Structures are given as C-alpha cells and as structure tokens.
Amino acid sequence: MSNIEQTLSIIKPDAVERNLESEIKEMFKSNGFQILKEKKIQIEKAEAEKFYKVHETKPFYNDLCEYLSSGPIVVMILQKENAVKGNRELMGATNPKDAEEGTIRKKYGISIDKNSVHGSDSVDNAKIEIDFFFKD
C-alpha cells in the first residue's frame, strides 16, 4: 500500500550562504522527492525560538535559535513515499562527523550546528512544522 507523506525541510544559513541551495534541491529531486512548496526567508530569533521550542531546555537552544535566524533559509514541503524517514536518511546523522557517505550532511555539513539542513523527525512534527511555515 502506498504511504505518501509530506515533510518539512530547511536549508540552513550555512548552506544558503555557500550557494548550495540548487545542489541540495537536486539531491532531494534525484532521490524522488517532489518539492511542493518552497520559499526563501529570514526569520526573527523569536520565531526560531518557537520553531525549536521542543529544544528549549537544551544547553544549545540559544545558539541554535541565534543561528537559524542569522541569515536567509529555504523552507520546503517535500513529498514522497515515506518522506519523513526517507528525508532523515538522506540528511544523515545530526553531526556531520557521524553522517554516512552520500548523505547531505556528510557532503555539505560543517559542524553539529552548521549541519546544512533540518528535517522533521516524525509524521506528527512534520504536520506541525509545515503549518508553522506554510499556514496561509
């Protein structure tokens, strides 16, 4: 049975700054993802704090929110069969040092903070994160 899902992807400031937007989108497309919607935006720190609220008790929360709001980002709705899991596999481990060959973070990530992309970690969070950026 088919299980078409949507997930939220963000190309983070480190990757936009290095002009990697097209290459990263190509990786999504060549791995069977459709980009249903996309926009390039810069968000305020307060918005980043809302987006990453699940991490608010973590020691890295403040830096993470500073960072996500530090420059332009590209937010996208990706669609594919089992998109949430597929996107996490294509991104690779959170820390690029631990990411496998062929993953986006292995190829482009600089550090655990500047890891080039974000992707929803569950189907429920994908809905919340898509609404966060694309609710009209």
Q: Which residues are catalytic?
A: 118
Q: Is 94 in the site for ligand CMP (CB under 6 A)?
A: yes
Q: Which residues pair with 5 in a beta bridge?
A: 80
The dihedral sign for the CA sequence 100, 105, 109, 113 = negative
Q: Does 35 bind ligand CMP (CB under 6 A)?
A: no
118 binds ligand CMP (CB under 6 A): yes
CB of 7 to ligand CMP, least distance (A): 12
What's the closest the beta carbon of residue 107 comes to ligand CMP, in angstroms? 16
Cα of 30 vs its chain's centroid, Å: 17
Q: Please report whether residue 70 would count as binding ligand CMP according to CB under 6 A.
A: no
User: Helix 123-134 vs helix 83-91: angle between axes, to the nearest 10 degrees?
Assistant: 90
Amino acid 70 reads S
Binding footprint of ligand CMP, residue count (CB under 6 A): 8
Closer CB to ligand CMP, residue 2 or residue 103? 103
**Nearest-approach distance from CB 4 to ligand CMP, in angstroms:** 23
Give yes or no for a contact between 52 and 128, defined as CB atoms under 8 angstroms apart. Answer: no
**Residue from 30, 10, 23, 9 nearest 83 by CA:** 9
Q: Return the range that interacts with ligand CMP (CB under 6 A); candidates 26-34, 77-85, 100-108, 109-117.
A: 109-117
Token reading at 23: 């290459």
DSSP strand pairing (34-41 vs 117-119): unpaired
* 112 lies in the site for ligand CMP, by CB under 6 A: yes
Q: Which residues contact ligand CMP (rule: CB under 6 A)?
A: 55, 60, 64, 94, 112-113, 115, 118
